Amino acid sequence: MRWTPGGVSSDVEDRRGSSGGGGFGFGGMHIGIGGAVILLVLSLLFHKNFFALLGGGGDTATTQQQRGPVQETPEEHRSVQFVSFVLDDAQKTWEQTLPGYRHAKLDLFRDAIQSACGSAQSASGPFYCPEDERVYIDLGFYDELRQKFGAPGDFAQAYVIAHEIGHHVQKLQGIEQQVHQAMENGSRSEQSALSVRLELQADCYAGVWGHSTQQRGIIDNADIEQGLNAAAAIGDDRLQRMAGRTVNPERFTHGSSKQRVEWFQRGLQSGRVEDCDTFRQ
């Protein structure tokens, strides 16, 4: 990706020096890759849909955590600036695309964090909480993305942020609330299907932003391959295999590798929000 380090976004809140958090509650958040693996394993072991815990809420605890100075390596500082660049660029794109768009905030944390959706640990991966309209990410996740999931590169990392911002767009459109209301009254298979459609749409929205960056010369074909590789690396079928389980589409929550690549690619190719309606496909 062609980007120049330029400071920290005003929409980024650095809580890496905070203490507190703990627990493993999820509330209404959209969990990330690491969290998907954990909940998948629990669901398969106990024959219970732990992903159903995603509905609900929690208390905002930003003010309850004690904050201290942030100590970081030069590599971490570069990552903070990269996250800031991606966040700002994605939100500028959505300002131009979605009338009335309001910015999400992004919280950086280490180990554990409290959000309005509940508490979470680093293992949950990046997530978006619709209750406080914030994206949460532990920068250590990018090491996991590269090493554990085999998805290196700047644009692979950018895809993750753009996906979470895609959930914010869904919140602003009213889609997220409608889906979760439908999930509350649905069967396990219906909940799974709705969750997959919601996640695939966020993938497509990430592609819409990717289309914009391609048009402006920020990414090239090599970057696109990185993004597609990241989408394929975190498909539910691959995660189930990584957990040592048989692939079971009825327990999908994010979509197969093929589905995630297809919808991300659809947004990349068209750049049109209307081409991302996974609920009518």
Query: Is the per-residue pLDDT at 173 higher than 90?
Result: yes
What pLDDT is stored for residue 67 in this prediction? 52
Distance CA 262, CA 185 (A): 29
Tens of pLDDT, residue by residue over 231-267, are 988 888 888 888 888 888 878 889 999 999 999 999 9
What pLDDT is stored for residue 185 in this prediction? 85
Tens of pLDDT, residue by residue over 192-207, are 999 999 999 999 999 9
Strands 12-14 and 18-19 come out as unpaired
How many residues can be counted in the chain?
A: 281
What burial letters (b/e) apply to 74-113, b meaning 16+ CB within 10 Å? eebeebbbbbbbbbbbbbebbeebeeebebbbbbbbbebb
Highest mean pLDDT: which range of 15-19, 28-32, 135-139: 135-139
Tens of pLDDT, residue by residue over 145-169, are 898 888 889 999 999 999 999 999 9
pTM, two decimals, is 0.82
Tens of pLDDT, residue by residue over 78-102, are 999 999 999 999 999 999 999 999 9
How distant, in Å, are the alpha carbons of 125, 171, 232 from that of 13?
A: 17, 20, 30
Task: Work out the number of other CB atoms within 10 angstroms of the CB of residue 61.
Answer: 17
> Residue 128, SS3?
strand
Domains of the chain plus CATH, in order, are 12-276 (3.40.390)
Strands 118-121 and 112-115 come out as antiparallel
Q: Which residue has the higher pLDDT, 22 or 171?
A: 171
Please tell me what DSSP assigns to residue 243. T
